[in-house]
Amino acid sequence: MNYEKLKVQLTIDEGRRSDIYVDTVGKVTGGVGRNLTERGFSDDEIDLMLLNDIALVERQLDKTLPWWRQMNDARQNVLANMCFNLGINRLLGFRNTLKDMQAGRYDLAAAGMLDSQWARQVGDRAARLAAVMVKGDFL
């Protein structure tokens, strides 16, 4: 079998979509005809998507909050985790919390994290991330 030619044929016949959509028979679909209703993702695909999403978060943080790289790894992970969850635009709404992080006032940053609608929505996640922000080490 010629995989390259089959890829071209399937892309022509199925189309190539980066978004999720409902196909003509009501199946949730994405990519090149991937029937997500009946077949989800393999572990390898999930890992690849996660790595791509983490890389996007890093680029967004580097662009908008370049000081974030000055924090230690544990605190960088907290900010990346929040960005992953919230998206960069909602994360930037944490103006005072981000200022406290930048200034090294990690206890105040953690308090700001916990005093938010986000913390009420994510519960234990916010408590864990705030504890890492204060401690500066992975739990």
Task: Tell me how many domains the chain contains.
Answer: 1
Nearest-angstrom CA–CA distance, 49 and 30: 14
128 located within any domain: yes
pLDDT of residue 139: 83
Please report the pLDDT score of residue 121 as a whole number: 98
CATH number for position 86: 1.10.530.40
Q: Is residue 54 part of a domain?
A: no
Task: Report yes or no on 87 lying in a domain.
Answer: yes
**What dihedral angle (degrees, nearest 10) is formed by the CA atoms of 15, 16, 19, 23?**
20
64: which residues sit within 8 A by CB, 6+ positions away?
88, 92
* pLDDT, average across residues 35-42: 95
Q: Give tens-digit pLDDT for 44-82.
A: 999 999 999 999 999 999 999 999 999 999 999 999 999
Q: Residue 37 falls within a domain, yes or no?
A: no
pLDDT (tens digit, 9 = 90+) per residue, 79-129?
999 999 999 999 999 999 999 999 999 999 999 999 999 999 999 999 999
Domain with 74, as residue range(s), is 65-135
- Which residue has 């044929």 as its token pair? 9
Contact (Cβ atoms closer than 8 angstroms) between residue 61 and residue 80: yes
pLDDT band at 9 (very low <50, low <70, confident <90, very high): very high
Per-residue model confidence (pLDDT) at position 12: 98
Instruction: Tell me the C-alpha distance between 102 and 115, whole Å.
Output: 18
